[in-house]
């Protein structure tokens, strides 16, 4: 099928409400277009946000959100966030801790008693900080699956794994298993389905009206980007995998417009208390990457807070420099490259 010819992208300056925009031909924007050239044209695209002092300096989109239908990416395109979702799962747990519905040092088996004896020392804090040592469900999931796994399926898999990689609390190992279990704990502690809790306690209060934890058969993802992978000189759709329906570790869809509202809420107590934000943003453990620590749903490198997200067909990153009041978000619907270094280069264009 012949795809429609696209106009070259423009970089836009928008109001804080992201309602009115005007183009600007600054030198930084020209350099941004050069950095984003691989995403331009009839290829899987990207949406880019730069926030400085609470204002969107850049809200730009490049390429296509859907190659099959020739749909252009925009600032309101919703991408599967993958592991950028983890900061929302952590926030949900912290909100419930503020409510007194759970404690961060609760044993996970107090909430999910079907876990084996080897998980007895594991606490919710261990899950949040990737120090539980729990087995990675993707390493032991059954082959030949004819349906997608859900968070409850992750629990069932782990119930049959009476071992840990190390003594809980003694080391760091990034764990998708941990965040899938946290979504189930949110459901137990709140009495609400995980997508409903996120909508009612986080997304709706912040005006993130198009953001959701996607469940097949539930509310549709509006303005949806579809994932792609480079193949034989072209692109093929690779939007879903057997683990794409697991929500706690990576199942949220959002746009740069909505993530601007999320970023704003991380500077004050409109959502989380000062104490909860300090917990989320404080280095709890050194990670397996040089000079990178991990808090609760956030990586910490120097004065920056960030998280990347990688899943079949999507590569994303959100990087914040709170002391500078600077944030860069890059969301893409392609399998490579990982955009963290790109986000750092974009940030350098817009520093004072």
Looking at the chain, the number of H-run helices and the number of E-run strands are: 12, 17
In which element (H, E) is residue 23 found? strand 21-23
Residue 160: which of 113, 116, 110 has the closest Cα? 116
DSSP 280-292: HHS--EE-SSTT-
12-81+222-350: CATH homologous superfamily? DD-peptidase/beta-lactamase superfamily (3.40.710.10)
Average pLDDT over residues 247-272: 98
Average pLDDT over residues 278-298: 96
pLDDT bracket for residue 342 (50, 70, 90):
very high
pLDDT cut 70: percent of the chain above it? 92
Average pLDDT over residues 224-235: 96
Residue 282 has pLDDT above 80, yes or no: yes
Q: What percent of the residues of the chain are helix, what percent strand, and what percent coil, each to the nearest 5?
A: 30, 20, 45
Tokens found for residue 294: 């991990």
Beta-strand ranges (E) seen in 39-139 are: 46-52, 55-62, 64-66, 71-72, 79-80
CB 314 within 8 A of CB 297: no
Q: What is the pLDDT of residues 22-32, one digit of tens each?
A: 334 467 889 99
Average pLDDT over residues 97-124: 98
Domain locations in the chain?
12-81+222-350, 87-190
Residue 167 has pLDDT above 50, yes or no: yes
Residue 143: per-residue pLDDT: 81
pTM: predicted TM-score of the whole model, two decimal places:
0.92
Computed over every residue of the chain, the mean pLDDT equals 92
Q: What is the pLDDT of residues 124-161, one digit of tens each?
A: 999 999 999 999 999 998 887 778 999 999 999 999 99
Query: Could you give the CA distance from residue 286 to residue 268 in angstroms, rounded to a whole number?
Result: 26
Mapped onto helix, strand or coil, the DSSP state of residue 3 is coil
Residue 120: per-residue pLDDT: 98
Residue 58: per-residue pLDDT: 97
Residue 147: per-residue pLDDT: 87
Average pLDDT over residues 292-313: 98
Residue 21 has pLDDT above 50, yes or no: no
Mapped onto helix, strand or coil, the DSSP state of residue 207 is coil
**Full strand arrangement of the beta sheet holding 252-254:** 79-80, 252-254, 212-213
Residue 142: per-residue pLDDT: 85
Residue 146: per-residue pLDDT: 75
With tokens 């995403």, the residue in question is 39
Average pLDDT over residues 102-114: 98
Residue 26: per-residue pLDDT: 63
């Amino acid at each position: 099928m012949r795809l429609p010819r696209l106009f070259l992208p423009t970089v836009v300056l928008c109001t804080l409400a992201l309602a009115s925009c005007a183009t600007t031909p600054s030198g930084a924007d020209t350099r941004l277009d050069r950095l984003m050239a691989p995403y331009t044209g009839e290829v899987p695209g990207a949406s880019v946000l730069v926030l400085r002092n609470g204002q969107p300096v850049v809200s730009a989109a490049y390429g296509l959100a859907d190659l099959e239908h020739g749909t252009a990416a925009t600032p309101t395109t919703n991408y599967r966030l993958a592991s950028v979702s983890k900061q929302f799962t952590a926030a949900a747990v912290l909100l419930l801790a503020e409510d007194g519905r759970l404690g961060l040092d609760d044993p996970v088996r107090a909430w999910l008693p079907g876990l084996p004896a080897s998980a007895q020392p594991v606490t919710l804090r261990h899950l949040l900080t990737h120090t539980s040592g729990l087995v990675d469900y993707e390493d032991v999931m059954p082959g030949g699956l004819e349906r997608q796994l859900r968070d409850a399926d992750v629990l069932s898999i782990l119930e049959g794994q009476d071992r840990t990689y190390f003594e809980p609390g003694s080391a760091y190992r990034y764990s998708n298993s941990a965040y899938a279990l946290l979504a189930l704990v949110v459901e137990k502690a709140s009495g609400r389905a995980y997508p409903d809790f996120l909508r009612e306690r986080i997304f709706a209060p912040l005006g993130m009206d198009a953001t959701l934890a996607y469940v097949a058969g539930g509310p549709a993802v509006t303005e949806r980007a579809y994932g792609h992978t480079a193949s034989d000189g072209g692109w093929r759709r690779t939007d879903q995998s057997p683990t794409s329906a697991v929500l706690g570790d990576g199942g949220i869809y959002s746009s740069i417009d909505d993530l601007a509202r999320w970023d704003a809420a991380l500077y004050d107590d409109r959502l989380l208390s000062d104490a909860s934000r300090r917990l989320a943003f404080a280095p709890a453990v050194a990670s397996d990457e040089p000079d990178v620590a991990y808090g609760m749903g956030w990586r910490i490198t120097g004065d920056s807070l960030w998280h990347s997200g990688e899943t079949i067909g999507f590569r994303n990153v959100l990087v914040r420099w709170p002391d500078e009041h600077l944030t860069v978000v890059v969301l893409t619907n392609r399998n490579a490259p990982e955009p963290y270094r790109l986000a750092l280069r974009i940030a350098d264009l817009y520093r004072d």
